[in-house]
């Protein structure tokens, strides 16, 4: 089966075509690419981006045609806790969730409609970033605020990066030879956006992002956890402060960027290695915040069997992993420094044999996860459909 994986931003469309068998993992990447500047002079809108994509695929796939499309959708709200085969109501439902993800869901809707217009008969599947966290218990997903906040405005913790946390959990359990329902771990997805998830018996039990992806860890440009009074206080005291302006500062001008002057972990680490004190402070803050979560989540899952690092920083930042693990001595974590420093693209163990908790690096692959979910749902759907 040829699956087109689509990840739509408001001005970009990232795609990959994978060939895979339903129920099987892996598959081969036959084509991939990025269409940028949608809304600019060359590519007017997502519909035109789809035309461009179709032309590219005709060349890259040697005339073969795709069998299904799988879309990454950031917010599935409470309605979507598993991947969904797209029918008439699905796109409208995703659009209705836009107030919860104003930057992301409208773009996904544009992508879904553009694919529908271009290939009306093509089965489409949505895979939601929030879905994996649908198993969080109520005492975890609730904020301690008046009921109306939840009933009227949908204010609760949702969590994000679920596709990656889910995928990485499955890979780690298999690597360790532990059946997933018996596997508890802490997964640190550390990219430009970063979140950490407590996985209990194979399912999400808690996660650091909340109502939006702003909560939790210190990220490239996002604050992570912050006393909400900071926002109300600034709105009252600073005549120039607006909700939109503060939103932009907290999401785009904070995190490593605010402290070290750069959002990129590589640049911050290099600056710290040269003795830059602000870069050192930023790294200390980010590592401390993560270690604090790992300690809390170790308790949340009644003892994690593994700590798993993934995404750009988690997979590559040797010094940052060491900085975090060195703070986890109280949990009995012992890093194998040579294994931590070794370069590899594969899944690997970086803890010492005597470590009380296995520490792993597991490369994430959200496209593969989306392609697998899409193939499985489409195969199940067509198996059940009248011929
Ligand atoms: P992602 O959003 O998953 O692509 O991750 C991006 C982050 O990974 C950036 O902060 C990069 O600086 C960081 N990163 C990528 N490669 C390395 C590396 N070799 N060492 C340290 N950080 C890295």
Q: Would you kindly state where each structural domain of the chain is located, as residue ranges?
A: 2-128, 177-366
CA of 174 relative to ligand 1 center, distance in Å: 25
Question: What DSSP letter does each residue of 268-304 carry, written as one string?
Answer: HHHHHHTT-HHHHHHHHHHHHHHHHHHHHHHHHTTS-
- Residue of 67, 129, 166, 206 marked catalytic: 129
Asked if 101 contacts 75 with a C-beta cutoff of 8 angstroms, the reply is yes
Length of the chain: 387
For residue 6 the two structure tokens come to 């689509």
Instruction: Please tell me the predicted confidence (pLDDT) of residue 387.
Output: 39
Of 371, 301, 308, the residue nearest 175 (C-alpha): 308
Domain 2-128 has CATH 3.30.420.40: yes
Q: Which residues line ligand 1 (CB under 6 A)?
A: 191-192, 220, 264-266, 269, 311-313, 316-317
* Tens of pLDDT, residues 72-125: 999 999 999 999 999 879 999 999 999 888 888 999 999 999 999 999 999 999
CA of 67 relative to ligand 1 center, distance in Å: 33
Q: How many Å apart are CA 275 and CA 265, to the nearest integer? A: 15
Q: Which residues of 185-211 are buried (b: 16+ CB within 10 A; e: fewer)?
A: bbbbbbbbbbbbbbbbebbbbbbbbbb
For residue 193, give the ligand 1 atom closest to its CA: 2
CA of 302 relative to ligand 1 center, distance in Å: 31
pTM, two decimals, is 0.94
Q: Helix (H, G, I), strand (E, B), or coil: what is residue 5?
A: strand
Phi-psi region of 227 (alpha: psi -120 to 50; beta: other; left: phi over 0): beta
Fold of the domain spanning 177-366: Nucleotidyltransferase; domain 5 (3.30.420)
Average pLDDT value for the chain: 95
Asked if 363 contacts 310 with a C-beta cutoff of 8 angstroms, the reply is yes
What is the side-by-side strand order in the sheet with 194-200? 203-207, 194-200, 185-190, 306-310, 358-361, 348-349
* Tens of pLDDT, residues 225-284: 999 999 999 999 999 999 999 999 999 999 999 999 999 999 999 999 999 999 999 999
Mean predicted confidence (pLDDT) in 130-140: 97
Q: How many Å apart are CA 287 and CA 347, to the nearest integer? A: 22
* Tens of pLDDT, residues 40-69: 998 999 999 999 999 999 999 988 999 999
Name the residue of 317, 318, 324 whose CB sits within 8 Å of the most ligand 1 atoms, as the mutation to test its pocket: 317
Does the annotation count 337 as an active-site position? no
Name the residue of 266, 319, 362 whose CB sits within 8 Å of the most ligand 1 atoms, as the mutation to test its pocket: 266
Name the residue of 262, 265, 314 whose CB sits within 8 Å of the most ligand 1 atoms, as the mutation to test its pocket: 265
């Amino acid at each position: 089966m040829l699956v087109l994986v689509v990840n739509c931003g408001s001005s970009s469309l990232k795609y990959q075509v994978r060939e895979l068998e339903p129920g099987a993992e892996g598959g081969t990447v036959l084509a991939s690419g990025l269409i940028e500047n949608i809304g600019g002079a060359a590519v007017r809108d997502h519909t035109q981006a789809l035309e461009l994509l179709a032309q590219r695929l005709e060349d890259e796939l040697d005339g073969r045609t795709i069998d299904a499309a799988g879309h990454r959708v950031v917010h599935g709200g409470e309605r979507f806790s598993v991947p969904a085969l797209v029918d008439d109501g699905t796109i409208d439902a995703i659009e209705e969730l836009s107030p919860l993800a104003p930057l992301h869901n409208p773009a996904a809707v544009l992508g879904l409609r553009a694919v529908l217009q271009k290939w009306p008969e093509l089965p489409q599947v949505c895979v939601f970033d929030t879905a994996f966290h649908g198993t969080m218990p109520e005492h975890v997903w609730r904020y301690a605020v008046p009921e109306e906040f939840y009933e009227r405005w949908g204010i609760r913790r949702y969590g994000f990066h679920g596709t990656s946390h889910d995928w990485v959990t499955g890979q780690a359990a298999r690597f360790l030879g532990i059946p997933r329902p018996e596997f508890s771990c802490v997964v640190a997805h550390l990219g430009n956006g970063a979140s950490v998830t407590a996985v209990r018996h194979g399912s999400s039990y808690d996660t650091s992002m909340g109502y939006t992806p702003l909560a939790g860890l210190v990220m490239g440009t996002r604050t992570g956890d912050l006393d909400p009074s900071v926002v109300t206080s600034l709105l009252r005291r600073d005549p120039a402060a607006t909700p939109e302006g503060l939103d932009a500062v907290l999401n785009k001008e904070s995190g490593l960027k605010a402290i070290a002057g750069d959002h990129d972990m590589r640049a911050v680490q290099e600056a710290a290695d040269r003795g830059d004190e602000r870069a050192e402070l930023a790294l200390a803050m980010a590592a401390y915040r993560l270690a604090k979560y790992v300690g809390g989540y170790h308790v949340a899952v009644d003892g994690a069997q593994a700590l798993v690092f993934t995404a750009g920083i988690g997979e590559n930042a040797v010094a940052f992993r060491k900085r975090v693990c060195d703070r986890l001595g109280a949990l009995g974590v012992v890093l194998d420094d040579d294994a931590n420093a070794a370069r590899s693209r594969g899944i690997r163990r970086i803890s010492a044999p005597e470590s009380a908790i296995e520490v792993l690096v597991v490369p994430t692959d959200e496209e593969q996860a989306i392609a697998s979910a899409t193939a499985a749902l489409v195969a199940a759907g067509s198996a059940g459909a009248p011929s």
